[in-house]
Structure 1
Amino acid sequence: MTAGWTGRAAIERWSQIPHDVLDEMEPAGDFDKRHLLNPVLLEMLGDVAGRRILDAGCGHGYSSRMLAARGADVTAVEPAAGLFAYALHKEQELRQGITYVEADLTQTLDFGAPFDAVVCSMVLSAIPDWRSTMRTCVRSAQLGGIIVIAINHPAFEQLRGTWREHGEYRVRRYLDEYEIAGRYAPDFHRPLSAYLNELAAPGCRLREVAEPGLNVAVASKAALAAPGIDGYVHLPNFLVISAESPAIAPGRPSSSDKGGR
């Protein structure tokens, strides 16, 4: 874990985001999510109609609602009480059939049948004990199921601020693990290799990696209200990874181990 932080402390900080701030992100997330992250997530998942999807760390639930609107059977897990309450309120209002579970993804959770796909969007880089959460995601996917993970790009964190100040991106530390202060709650930097190696360890197969860039026309329109946004045209703010869960569950013998039957 990152020194000085516990999972509970981070969860409590995320829980304190005011609901009026969350309202401003409706219905499809903030600017970055709408223009950079959501299109890639939806493309990697493909047609979600009728598929069971776990939204692992759903936050205030916008991505769960986005998937449910496209016909997915969504189970959404969130440990931060304030974010969970907001998501549950929206479900009571919209009645999309989303199952919300207030639980910590670092714990062993039983969802019954495994999921066709697991989405873990902007969660791992926001919590200290990210490895346990990733293991929960892998265990929750059916054999050969899809796991889609989105994080702040470890090589280009705080991109907009440094681009606004210097007209370029600057970074002094990459290989260390450290806290990045945020407006309401922290993020945590780790090198890209940490995430990829942890995903590979149980036998997940990499399908695709995306580093989305911002459309030039969109950046031009937003430039006055969001100085530094043009940095997103040249460098990626997010990293999105799609993988398949192991075809053979850990501990389960393969057909070759049974004499080819």
Structure 2
Amino acid sequence: MTTQQTNESTIRQWDTMPRKVMEAMEPDGDFAKRHLINPVLLRMLGDVRGLRVLDAGSGQGYLSRMLATRGAHVTAVEPTDAMFTYSQEKEQALQQGVHHVQADLSRLPDLGGRYDAVLCSMVLPTIPDWKPAMRACVQALRPGGLFVFSVNHPAFEQLLATWRKHGEYRLSRYLEEYEIPLTRATDFHRPISAYLNELTALGCRLREIAEPGLEPPIAREAADTESGIESYVHLPNFLIVAAERP
């Protein structure tokens, strides 16, 4: 893939996130996160009470706060000024004990010891130089620790928009790596093999892969306000992976 984007340039793009968008994510993310991503992430992580958990690329911090509510000792790493500041403000108000670090995942500072689990949700597809970020996540784990990450499903990442336009899903490019322009920033398409092969190269043992679909009753309830939402029932928009560090 040839791109003019760098980690620094994409961080600047994401730093334009309006506060009202961050506030709209309270308390548990948007529709897709609430119904498709969060339930799987939390199930894969299991009981986090008393565990050290790294939220790698924490965004506005809702997952960090959910994990802290469940008893985890959370470190949240986020590079953008806007979302880092928002998360700090929420911590000051809620006093949950979430420790915030502002850093690029590809260049993690010393975080003071290894973690029982590292969560990296919807972050890797936003990073041009993503392999060092995945490596940093794995290296932050104790031996036997759990690495859980979610990405846009590479085979169905533009599912909703395509379904709304055609009434079905269409895909013409999969094996290539390319940029996907978004409203405020850029995502990067990579085939599933890119993520899984890198995970293997880092010595991780795959535990589970999930491709969550939307429950039909939830789709029916949302149909009046979310055009094309029935596509989530038939095809997976997200890929979630759990792996262990040896």
After TM superposition, give the deviation of residue 2 of structure 1 in Å: 4.9
Give the alignment's TM-score, normalised by structure 2. 0.98
* Structure 1 unaligned residues grouped into runs of 5+: 247-261
- CA deviations 1:65-107 (Å, max 9, x no partner) are 0100000000000001111111111111111000000011111
- Correspondence 1:91 to 2:91: yes
The letter for the 1-side match of 2:99 is T
* Structure 2 unaligned residues grouped into runs of 5+: none
Aligned pairs for 1:23-42 within 5 A: 23-42=23-42
Counterpart residue number, 2:192: 192
Counterpart residue number, 2:112: 112
SS in 1 for 2:105: coil
SS in 2 for 1:106: helix
Counterpart residue number, 1:74: 74
Q: Contact conserved, 1:2 with 1:128, CA < 8 A, in 2?
A: no
Counterpart residue number, 1:252: none
Give the alignment's TM-score, normalised by structure 1. 0.93
Partners in 1 of 2:108 and 2:181 — Cα distance?
29
Taking structure 1 as reference, are residues 70 and 108 closer, same or farther at Cα in structure 2, changes over 3 Å only? closer
Partners in 1 of 2:186 and 2:217 — Cα distance?
31
Aligned pairs for 1:124-163 within 5 A: 124-163=124-163
Partners in 1 of 2:76 and 2:2 — Cα distance?
26
After TM superposition, give the deviation of residue 57 of structure 1 in Å: 0.4
Aligned length: 246
SS in 2 for 1:207: strand
Partners in 2 of 1:153 and 1:19 — Cα distance?
27
Counterpart residue number, 1:204: 204
Q: Contact conserved, 1:109 with 1:136, CA < 8 A, in 2?
A: no
SS in 1 for 2:224: coil
After TM superposition, give the deviation of residue 109 of structure 1 in Å: 2.2
Partners in 1 of 2:183 and 2:218 — Cα distance?
25
The letter for the 1-side match of 2:3 is A
- CA deviations 1:185-209 (Å, max 9, x no partner) are 1111000000000001021000000
Counterpart residue number, 2:52: 52
The letter for the 2-side match of 1:145 is G
- Correspondence 1:224 to 2:224: yes
Partners in 2 of 1:182 and 1:224 — Cα distance?
25
Partners in 2 of 1:99 and 1:92 — Cα distance?
11
Partners in 1 of 2:2 and 2:21 — Cα distance?
27
After TM superposition, give the deviation of residue 108 of structure 1 in Å: 4.2
The letter for the 2-side match of 1:181 is P
Partners in 2 of 1:112 and 1:73 — Cα distance?
13
Partners in 2 of 1:108 and 1:209 — Cα distance?
26
Partners in 2 of 1:74 and 1:207 — Cα distance?
23
SS in 1 for 2:55: strand
More divergent stretch after superposition (109-118 vs 45-54): 109-118
Counterpart residue number, 1:123: 123
After TM superposition, give the deviation of residue 165 of structure 1 in Å: 1.1
Q: Contact conserved, 1:36 with 1:213, CA < 8 A, in 2?
A: yes
The list of structure 1 runs, each at least 4 consecutive aligned residues, that deviate by more than 6 angstroms after superposition, is: none
Partners in 1 of 2:202 and 2:2 — Cα distance?
23
